Amino acid sequence: MVPIRRLTTAAIAWAVGVLLSPAATLAGPGTLSATPAAAPGGVTPATTPASLRGWSPDVAAAKDFALAQPGRVRFHVLDQSTGRTWDFRGWEKVNFASTLKPLLMATYLRSSKVRDRALTAADRDLLRPMIRLSANTPASTLVVRLGQDAIARTAKAADMGTVLVSPHWGTTQTTARAQVALFSNFPELFPTRHREYAMQLLSSIAATQQWGIGQVEVPGRWKLYFKGGWGSGTGAVDHQTALLQSGERRLILSITTTGNPSHKRGKVTLKGVAQRLLRNLPE
């Protein structure tokens, strides 16, 4: 029997189960797709012993669950070892909320004053609470310090498209697809000397924020890196984006939700969608 563990610390926010041709495109709102195309970050489809080619997320069950929820749900999934993608409303724009914070961390670590030196205590005091505890004050500090242009350049480097940071940074626009693109470029998006630290933060989200995908049981060899965003905590916005990695196998997913009647219900939706997308994930 495959050993199962509950993801809690070593830690995300997805075409009806029928694979479309490589040239397939989305027909419009509400259409699901599964496309073996080039993955964000320049990864090309490949068949290796480490691939997930024999497995697919249960997108039909995830869609049915999503449509039964009181809020609006979107998701996008990428099997980075093969380049296959699955999408449900993944193009729809939503507020970043705190899912902006990994992009801010990447921008800061890539800045000329930081990338080639050791991190100071002050650096860590900015980044650690921003990622592990989702603290807003460090994020506000970095938005001002970095400026819109630098953040936009990092987003472009991560294949996210155009990102224009709003004065109220949590309302900056993103999509599930753009979120998957960002995480598909980790850890390479971070400067070499800072990659281990950045990924350690994303794999050690505080226990009090380990809901949604953080509560999904998967085979023990998979390691989870993720970040959530929940705005004001009313349920108006509840998102999660995650990278699951086992050896050379990399699975990235983003689930975005809006219009939940409460934050508690939003967390239930995130977990329910993630459980169905990750059903029968191989060891």
The pLDDT of 220-233, averaged and rounded, is 94
Q: How far is CA 209 from CA 45, 60, 64, 132, 139, in A?
A: 34, 28, 26, 9, 17
Q: How far is CA 103 from CA 156, 175, 179, 219, in A?
A: 11, 14, 10, 28
- Cα(253)–Cα(118) distance, rounded to whole angstroms? 31
pLDDT computed for residue 62 by the predictor = 98
Residue of higher predicted confidence among 219 and 171: 171
Q: Is the pLDDT of residue 153 over 50?
A: yes
pLDDT digits (tens, 9 = 90+) for 41-57: 443 333 344 578 789 99
Q: Is the pLDDT of residue 234 over 70?
A: yes
Task: Kindly report the average pLDDT of the chain as a whole number.
Answer: 87
pLDDT digits (tens, 9 = 90+) for 85-114: 999 999 999 999 999 999 999 999 999 999
The pLDDT of 209-233, averaged and rounded, is 95
The pLDDT of 70-97, averaged and rounded, is 97
- Is residue 220 very low, low, confident or very high in pLDDT (cuts 50, 70, 90)? confident
- Is residue 146 very low, low, confident or very high in pLDDT (cuts 50, 70, 90)? very high
Beta strands in the chain (DSSP E): 4-6, 32-36, 72-79, 84-88, 94-95, 173-174, 217-219, 223-229, 237-246, 249-258
Residue of higher predicted confidence among 31 and 252: 252
pTM across the whole model: 0.84
pLDDT computed for residue 22 by the predictor = 32
- Cα(117)–Cα(171) distance, rounded to whole angstroms? 32
pLDDT computed for residue 268 by the predictor = 98
Phi then psi for residue 275, to 5 deg, are -55, -45
- Is residue 249 very low, low, confident or very high in pLDDT (cuts 50, 70, 90)? very high
The pLDDT of 228-236, averaged and rounded, is 94
pLDDT computed for residue 40 by the predictor = 43
Fold annotation for 4-18+32-250+264-277: Beta-lactamase (3.40.710)
pLDDT digits (tens, 9 = 90+) for 4-42: 444 443 433 333 333 333 333 333 444 454 554 444 444
